[in-house]
C-alpha cells in the first residue's frame, strides 16, 4: 500500500545556516514552520566564536520570529579558531552554547578564520569533552593537491580517525556526509561518532549537477559525489542505525552570488526541508524510517528529550517557486519550478 499521509514526532534540524540581518526575516520563519529545534551554524562574517556572540545572535534569531505562529528553538554553536581557549569553551557552555564547529581553514563558505592545524585546538577539545559540548566537523581537507571529490575521504583518514581515537568520550558529528567512506566510518566507529545527512545528498549525485550543463544551485560542499556514494547515504539514512540524523545544511546564497563566474557553495532547502527528505525516503521505499532519522536520533545523540508533539505530511503535489525572497535580495531554491510530492499540513 502506498501512503498518502504520514504523521511524525516533530522533527529537528541539526545543521542549518540562517545567515544574519535581513536574511533572518526569511530563513528563520522557514524553520519555524514545523521544526522543533535547530542547530545554527556559526559561519557568519565575522564568525560567532564566543558565548557572548552566540547569545547576541540567538537574540537576533528570536526577534526574527516574534510574529510567527510558532517558534523554532535555536541551539547555538561557536566557531573554533586557532585561538579558541579552554576558557572560551567554559564561557560558551555557561552562555548556553551546545556545540563547537570545526571549519578547516579554507574548506568552505566563510571558513577563512577556521582551524589551520587540528593540534592547536586539542586544549579546546579537552574542555569540550569535560563540559559536555558536542564537536561538529566540516570534514574536508584543503590541500591543493587533493582532488575535490576525495577531500572528505582524506579528512577521515588523516584527521577524523585520529580525533576519534584521541577523544573517545567526546560526542562528535561528521556533518553533511557525502561518501560511502564516511557512512562506513561512522557506522563502524564508537557510539560517540555520528553524522548528519542532507536531503540533497540523498536526492542527487554529481550527474544532476554536471550532465547537460552546469547547474550552480546544486553546487555545495562537500560536493555531490558519484551515484554509488548517493546509494550508500540512502542506505545509511534508512538503515535504522541511530548514528545518522537529519541536518539540512540549508545554505542560502543570493542568486547573484550563485549565478556568476565563481559561484558560492551552498543550496537552499529550508523552504521544504522535511518535504524533500520525505521524497527521498519514499523513493527508497523507506518512509517508515523517516521518523527515526528526522525526529529521534538527533535529540538522542545530543542528550536532549525528543519532541512530544507531531506534524503530519500529506501527499499532495505542489510546484516550487522559481525564486524566493532572501532579505532584500532573492535566492533560487533547490528544485525551483519543480514539483514536490509532500506537503506539511498546517497545524
Ligand X SMILES: NC(=O)N[C@@H](CC(=O)O)C(=O)O
Q: Is 249 a catalytic residue?
A: yes
Taking residues 125 to 164 in sequence order and writing x for each that binds ligand X by CB under 6 A, - otherwise, the string is -------------x--------------------------
Q: Which residues contact 119 (CB under 8 A, 6 or more apart)?
A: none
List the catalytic residue out of 20, 249, 256, 309: 249
Rounded-to-integer distance, Cα 180 and Cα 197, Å: 12
- Chain positions 107 to 126 lying near ligand X, rule: CB under 6 A, are 108-109
The 8-class DSSP code of residue 11 comes to: P
Residue 46 CA to chain centroid, in angstroms?
A: 20
Based on the shown chain and the rule CB under 5 A, indicate whether residue 108 belongs to the binding site for Zn ion. yes
List the single partner that 151 binds among ligand X, Zn ion, none, CB under 5 to 8 Å by kind.
none
Q: Is 88 annotated as a binding residue?
A: no
Quote the least distance from Cβ 62 to Zn ion, whole Å. Answer: 21
3-state SS assignment for residue 38: strand
Based on the shown chain and the rule CB under 6 A, indicate whether residue 217 belongs to the binding site for ligand X. no
Q: What is the largest CA-CA distance in the chain?
A: 56
Q: Would you give the end-to-end CA distance of the chain in angstroms?
A: 26
Q: Is 243 annotated as a binding residue?
A: no
List the single partner that 196 binds among Zn ion, ligand X, none, CB under 5 to 8 Å by kind.
none
Q: Is 266 or 287 the residue whose CB approaches ligand X more closely?
A: 266
Quote the least distance from Cβ 343 to ligand X, whole Å. Answer: 26
Q: Is 43 annotated as a binding residue?
A: yes
Q: Which residues contact 313 (CB under 8 A, 6 or more apart)?
A: 5, 6, 7, 8, 274, 275, 278, 342, 343, 344, 345
User: Which of 181, 249, 275, 291 is close enough to bind ligand X by CB under 6 A?
Assistant: 249
User: Which of 249, 253, 273, 277 is close enough to bind Zn ion by CB under 5 A?
Assistant: 249
Q: Which residues contact 206 (CB under 8 A, 6 or more apart)?
A: 149, 223, 224, 225, 226
User: Which residues sit in the known binding site for Zn(2+)?
Assistant: 15, 17, 101, 138, 176, 249
Amino acid at each position: 500500500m502506498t501512503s498518502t499521509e504520514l504523521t511524525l514526532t516533530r522533527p529537528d534540524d541539526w545543521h542549518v545556516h540562517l545567515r544574519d540581518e535581513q536574511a533572518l526575516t526569511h530563513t528563520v520563519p522557514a524553520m519555524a514552520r514545523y521544526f522543533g529545534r535547530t542547530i545554527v551554524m556559526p559561519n557568519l562574517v565575522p564568525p560567532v566564536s564566543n558565548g557572548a556572540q552566540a547569545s547576541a545572535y540567538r537574540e537576533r534569531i528570536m526577534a526574527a520570529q516574534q510574529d510567527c505562529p510558532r517558534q523554532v528553538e535555536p541551539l547555538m554553536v561557536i566557531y573554533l579558531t586557532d585561538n579558541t581557549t579552554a576558557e572560551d569553551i567554559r564561557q560558551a557552555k555557561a552562555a548556553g552554547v551546545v556545540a563547537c564547529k570545526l571549519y578547516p581553514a579554507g574548506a568552505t563558505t566563510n571558513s577563512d578564520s577556521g582551524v589551520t592545524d587540528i593540534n592547536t585546538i586539542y586544549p579546546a577539545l579537552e574542555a569540550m569533552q569535560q563540559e559536555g559540548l558536542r564537536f561538529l566537523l566540516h570534514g574536508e581537507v584543503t590541500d591543493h593537491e587533493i582532488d575535490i571529490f576525495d577531500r572528505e575521504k582524506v579528512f577521515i583518514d588523516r584527521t577524523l580517525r585520529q580525533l576519534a581515537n584521541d577523544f573517545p568520550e567526546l560526542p562528535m558529528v561528521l556533518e553533511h556526509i557525502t561518501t560511502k567512506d564516511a557512512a562506513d566510518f561512522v557506522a563502524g566507529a564508537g557510539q560517540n561518532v555520528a553524522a548528519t545527512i542532507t536531503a540533497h545528498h540523498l536526492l542527487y549525485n554529481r550527474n544532476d549537477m554536471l550532465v547537460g550543463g552546469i547547474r550552480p544551485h546544486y553546487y555545495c560542499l562537500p560536493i555531490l559525489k558519484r551515484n554509488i556514494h548517493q546509494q550508500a547515504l540512502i542506505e545509511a539514512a534508512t538503515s535504522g542505525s541511530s548514528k545518522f540524523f537529519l541536518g539540512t545544511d540549508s545554505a542560502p546564497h543570493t542568486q547573484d552570488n550563485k549565478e556568476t563566474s565563481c559561484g558560492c557553495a551552498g543550496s537552499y532547502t529550508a523552504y521544504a526541508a522535511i518535504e524533500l527528505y520525505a521524497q527521498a525516503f519514499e523513493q527508497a521505499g523507506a518512509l517508515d524510517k523517516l521518523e527515526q532519522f528526522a525526529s529521534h536520533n538527533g535529540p538522542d545523540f545530543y542528550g536532549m528529550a525528543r519532541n512530544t508533539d507531531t506534524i503530519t505530511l500529506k501527499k499532495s503535489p505542489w510546484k516550487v517557486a522559481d525564486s524566493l525572497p532572501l532579505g532584500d535580495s532573492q535566492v533560487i531554491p533547490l528544485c525551483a519550478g519543480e514539483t514536490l510530492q509532500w506537503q506539511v499540513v498546517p497545524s
